[in-house]
Amino acid sequence: MSGSTEDSTQRLRHFFGTKHDSDDLVERLEQLNAIGASLSAERDIDRLLEAILSAAKAITRADGGTLYRVTDERTLRFEIVRTTSLNYYLGGTSGNPVPFYPIQLYNKDGQPNHSMVAANAALTGNTVNIADAYTADGFDFSGTRAFDTKTGYRSTSFLTVPMKNHENEIIGVLQLINATDPKSGALLPFSASDQSLAESLASQAAIALTNRMLINQLEALFESFINLMNTAIDEKSPYPGGHCQRVPQLTMMLAEAVTETDEGPLADFRMTEKDRYELKIAGMLHDCGKVTTPVHVVDKATKLETIFDRVHLIDTRFEVLRRDAEIELLRAKAKPEASPGTRERERAEIRYRDRLRQLDEDRAFLRACNFGGESMRESDIARVKTIAQYRWTDVAGHEANFLTEDEVKNLTIRAGTLTQDERQIINHHIVATIRMLEALPWPRHLKNVPEYAGGHHERMDGKGYPKGLMREDMSVQARCMGIADIFEALTAKDRPYKKGKTLSESLEILGRFRENGHIDPDLFDTFVRSKVYLRYAEMFLDPDQIDTVDETRIPGYAR
């Protein structure tokens, strides 16, 4: 106990009399000190309000109590109601809503409502200590009498304390009912020491509540800014719009599954509420760098797409070649030796039909190549290059190769729709993400956000990007996000270049990633064993994607 607390204790002992009384008071003061520390640590508003009322009841030995909060509508709203002897619990985490109307601080004519004791305390900022509500003058206790009549209770002593924050604003009222002798159980008036302790607690509680509300408001504002950034990314490209929402949820689901694991290599991993919030924020920000990525690269649904799909230009060229074939046929027919019925005319018509068939097949082939698949065969690449050598004459009369070098480069992309240069542009988003996040002055409880968010494209074998980290260089949280990012991408049905894969397909690919050192093997085993994939699927996947999974056939899975 600090020196100032000891001095306060000595003064209170002198003021409150006997050694027995002072010892009792010292015990309650120590209670008050412990309560103050615990209130500052509580993050949940409902639990904080309950803790405040429970603490006030404990240090004043009150049987009942109510905690009110001042609203913007100038009323006192019932937040928590507790009466121990009646087992009467309303509000907070009890699950029982408080059915009472708020207390008006001002009447309809705008006059202050001093008739209600709680309103009076809120309006004046003064504590009201009443020995017996049934004999007190100046206040309206008709509601109290009605409650007593209904329940058989006898509301006697009242201690009503305003809750003032550090700016001397009244933010609530703490009302305690029926001080009780701890030995005999007899009802007593609230003593001067009860009032002093309750006022001290109310002051601490008001500051703790104000601070928690301010923190919650700042966190809500911060998350709103993050969502605003993600909305900006979504507005740029509608395709991966849900990615920034789904990956954080899947990351948290996997991290929670790991926390619940009590055996194996991950048995010691645990998360506090602060850890959970830090990981949540990292998940929300994991792709914030995409705000720098050009739209035409993000939205590239086909290999030839830039601002538009250039396959239509190639369609036009095929029509030119068809026209040229037809002109060649007409010229051949115009020759004297190619009169009707001659072999020369027949050969010309066969060449024409063969040419049209070849052009139609080539056109269909290039259109198929334009849609990025899983892989492209060497024979397909060679065929594209052969077609590229066809000659055609453009509208300016210039003869040129049928496909430009850039078109050949795009059409021969081995997998997906992006060239190597475009992949570098896409990959740069993680570099931008890390730079953006590392530039922010993170508070201590969020200092790991850049590491968690910036590691989801690293690999366990060091072949990932941008830093080439090894597994031991990464936190469990960052490794969880890596799996979540991949699985979401595999199953996502809003990508422009592919359909969402089924569960079994996605788990097979993810299993191969486990085998080749891409993802964490222990986290993958937890992902499958704890059925994280299934819970995620039930939340986000279409029914036709949720097929039957035979876990024994998943590559690399250790049951």
pLDDT of residue 211: 86
Confidence band for 339, pLDDT divided at 50, 70 and 90: confident
Site of tokens 């039957």: 548
Confidence band for 500, pLDDT divided at 50, 70 and 90: confident
On the question of a cis peptide bond just before residue 496, with omega within 30 degrees of 0, the verdict is no
User: 142-160 burial, b for 16+ CB within 10 Å, e for fewer?
Assistant: eebeebbeeeebebbbbbb
For range 341-359, the mean pLDDT? 91
Domain 3-214: which CATH number of 3.40.190.10, 3.40.309.10, 3.30.450.40, 3.30.1490.20: 3.30.450.40
Q: How many CB atoms lie within 10 A of CB 224?
A: 10
pLDDT of residue 25: 61
For range 234-256, the mean pLDDT? 82
Q: How many CB atoms lie within 10 A of CB 103?
A: 18
Q: What is the rounded end-to-end Cα distance, in angstroms, of the chain?
A: 54
Structure tokens at 112: 């202050």
pLDDT of residue 308: 80
Domain 238-295+421-553 has CATH 1.10.3210.10: yes
**pLDDT: which is higher, 504 or 245:** 504
Confidence band for 95, pLDDT divided at 50, 70 and 90: confident
pLDDT of residue 18: 45
For range 330-340, the mean pLDDT? 85
Least confident of 115-119, 399-403, 499-503: 499-503
Report the percent of the chain where pLDDT is more than 70.
91
State yes or no: pLDDT of 509 exceeds 70: yes
Express each pLDDT in 422-462 by its tens digit. 888 888 889 999 999 999 999 999 999 999 999 999 999 99
Whole-number Å distance between alpha carbons of 120 and 96: 27
Assess contact for 527 and 514: CB atoms under 8 A. Answer: no
State yes or no: pLDDT of 257 exceeds 50: yes
pLDDT of residue 16: 44
Express each pLDDT in 153-164 by its tens digit. 999 999 999 999
Least confident of 167-176, 232-241, 288-297: 232-241
Confidence band for 22, pLDDT divided at 50, 70 and 90: low
For range 150-174, the mean pLDDT? 93
- Reduced to 3 states, what is the DSSP secondary structure of residue 79? strand
pLDDT of residue 235: 73
State yes or no: pLDDT of 337 exceeds 90: no
Whole-number Å distance between alpha carbons of 61 and 53: 12
State yes or no: pLDDT of 2 exceeds 50: no
Whole-number Å distance between alpha carbons of 247 and 227: 14
Whole-number Å distance between alpha carbons of 254 and 484: 8
Whole-number average pLDDT of the chain = 88
Express each pLDDT in 465-476 by its tens digit. 899 999 999 999
State yes or no: pLDDT of 527 exceeds 70: yes
Confidence band for 19, pLDDT divided at 50, 70 and 90: very low
Distance of CA 264 to the CA centre of its chain: 28
Express each pLDDT in 401-429 by its tens digit. 999 999 999 999 888 888 888 888 888 88
pLDDT of residue 524: 96
pLDDT of residue 27: 67
DSSP designation for 167: T
Confidence band for 353, pLDDT divided at 50, 70 and 90: very high
Whole-number Å distance between alpha carbons of 481 and 527: 12
